[in-house]
């Protein structure tokens, strides 16, 4: 069953932004598996007159690596269409003269190669997964607590994501752990930061009201997009839970079964009466 009120404004849309994990594919030990219908759905969007970008908080691998992985799964996607937190963070660090202590997955380190990491004056925390050992967290904590002005950047603040064997903690809980320990508030780079969404919109050359975001994370994908003025659609794949539809503050403009259904309804509504 799909909530169809959002389709009435479908004709005025000029662009679509898609989340990756939970919309195109599900994460897992083997690199992940495409969600049924998603490969075809992306092809259909690309063939339409809508501009398309991908916006992810993926921070376990560099863009080159995860785009290559998606291409192997059959997705028509390229690096220049993908927006992720690490490159945005690098720009912020350089702009503000910050030298980071990194608490990230090894696969992300290459994104920070051009950044001075000596004598750190801030901590950057990403989805470090297995690298979230007690001692690694402690090292990051010690850097922060030792700074006169502790600065913590979090590459996203998601609570959890879906893997093949169940839900796993995302960067958000670990960001909260460091915030609590050091009494600081993290700056979030990535979804749902509006600065992040606006960088995608400006790359597309479109205004928020002309764009729709499709994601599985009610707060970070849908809520974040809505706060910028975009339409936000939630899919029932990935980390979606039925309780999302009774969330106390975020109400998706529409909820659909998966990306395939979203594209069916969207392109159907734009085709107009036959």
Partner 1 sequence: MSGRRALRAVLVDLSGTLHIEDTATPVRSSWSGSARPRWAVRFVMSTMEIFTSLSAARRLVEQNHQRPLLLVEDSALEDFAGLDTSNPNAVVVGLAPQHFNYQTLNTAFRLVLEGAPLVAVHKARYYQRGDGLALGPGPFVTALEYASGRSAVVVGKPQETFFTQVPDSGMQPGEAVMIGDDARDDVGGAQNAGMRGILVRTGKYRVGDESKISPGPYLTCDSFPDAVDHLLKDLL
CA distance 22 to 161: 8
Residue 235 lies near partner 1 (rule: CB under 8 A): no
Least distance (Å) between residue 241 CB and partner 1: 9
* Residue 178 in contact with partner 1, rule: CB under 8 A: yes
Among the listed ranges 82-90, 171-179, 252-260, 265-273, the one in contact with partner 1 (CB under 8 A) is 171-179
Q: Is 134 in the site for partner 1 (CB under 8 A)?
A: yes
Q: Considering the complex, state which of residue 156 and residue 254 has its C-beta at the smaller distance from partner 1.
A: 156
Tokens of 218: 């009610």
DSSP code at position 76: -
Q: Quick one: 142 or 198, whose CB is closer to partner 1?
A: 142
Token pair recorded at residue 62: 């560099």
Among 15, 100, 156, 172, binds partner 1 (CB under 8 A): 172
Residue of 30, 10, 34 lying closest to 260 (CA atoms): 34
| Among 58-66, 85-93, 132-140, 204-212, the segment contacting partner 1 (CB under 8 A) | 132-140
Among the residue ranges 25-33, 66-74, 136-144, 196-204, the one whose residues contact partner 1 (CB under 8 A): 136-144
Integer Cα distance of 187 and 54 in angstroms: 22
141 binds partner 1 (CB under 8 A): yes
Two structure tokens written together for 187:
């700056």
Taking alpha carbons only, the member of 56, 66, 50, 65 closest to residue 14 is 50
* CA pair distance 12, 229, nearest whole angstrom: 14
Closer to partner 1 by CB, 44 or 251: give it.
251
How far is Cα 235 from Cα 214, in angstroms, rounded to an integer? 7
Should residue 240 be labelled a site residue for partner 1 when binding is judged by CB under 8 A? no
| 160 forms part of the interface with partner 1 (CB under 8 A) | yes
Closest CA to 104 of 159, 172, 162, 171: 171
Residue 189: CB minimum distance to partner 1, A = 18
Which residue in the set 49, 95, 97, 180 belongs to the binding site for partner 1 (CB under 8 A)? Answer: 180
> Which CB atom, from 71 or from 133, has the smaller least distance to partner 1?
133
Task: Quote the least distance from Cβ 133 to partner 1, whole Å.
Answer: 6
Per-residue tokens: 273:
């009466």
Distance in Å, CB of 185 to partner 1, minimum: 13
| CA-based nearest residue to 130, from 108, 147, 152, 149 | 108
Q: Are 125 and 202 in contact (CB under 8 A)?
A: no
Q: Annotate 27-37 with b (16+ C-beta within 10 A) or e (fewer).
A: beeeebebbeb
Contacting residues toward partner 1, per CB under 8 A? 129-134, 137-138, 141-142, 145, 159-160, 166-170, 172-174, 176-183
């Amino acid at each position: 069953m799909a909530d169809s009120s959002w389709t009435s404004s479908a004709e005025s849309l000029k662009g679509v932004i898609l989340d990756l994990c939970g919309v195109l594919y599900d994460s897992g030990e083997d690199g992940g598996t495409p969600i049924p219908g998603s490969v075809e759905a992306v092809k259909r969007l690309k063939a339409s007159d809508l501009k398309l970008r991908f916006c992810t908080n993926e921070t376990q691998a560099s863009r080159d690596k995860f785009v290559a992985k998606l291409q192997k799964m059959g997705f028509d996607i390229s690096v220049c269409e993908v927006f992720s937190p690490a490159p945005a963070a690098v720009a912020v660090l350089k702009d503000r003269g910050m030298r980071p202590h990194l608490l990230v997955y090894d696969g992300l380190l290459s994104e920070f190669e051009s950044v001075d990491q000596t004598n750190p004056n801030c901590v950057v925390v990403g989805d470090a997964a297995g690298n979230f050992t007690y001692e690694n967290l402690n090292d990051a904590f010690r850097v922060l607590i030792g700074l006169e002005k502790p600065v913590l950047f979090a590459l996203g603040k998601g609570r959890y994501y879906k893997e093949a064997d169940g839900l796993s903690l995302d960067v958000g809980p670990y960001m909260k752990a460091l915030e609590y320990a050091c009494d600081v508030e993290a700056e979030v780079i990535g979804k749902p930061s509006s600065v992040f969404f606006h960088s995608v919109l400006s790359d597309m050359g479109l205004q928020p009201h002309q764009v729709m975001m499709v994601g599985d994370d009610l707060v970070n994908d849908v809520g974040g997009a809505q706060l910028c003025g975009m339409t936000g659609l939630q899919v029932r794949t990935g980390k979606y839970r039925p309780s999302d539809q009774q969330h106390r503050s975020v109400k998706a403009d529409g909820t659909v079964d998966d990306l395939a259904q979203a594209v069916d309804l969207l392109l159907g509504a734009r085709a107009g009466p036959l």
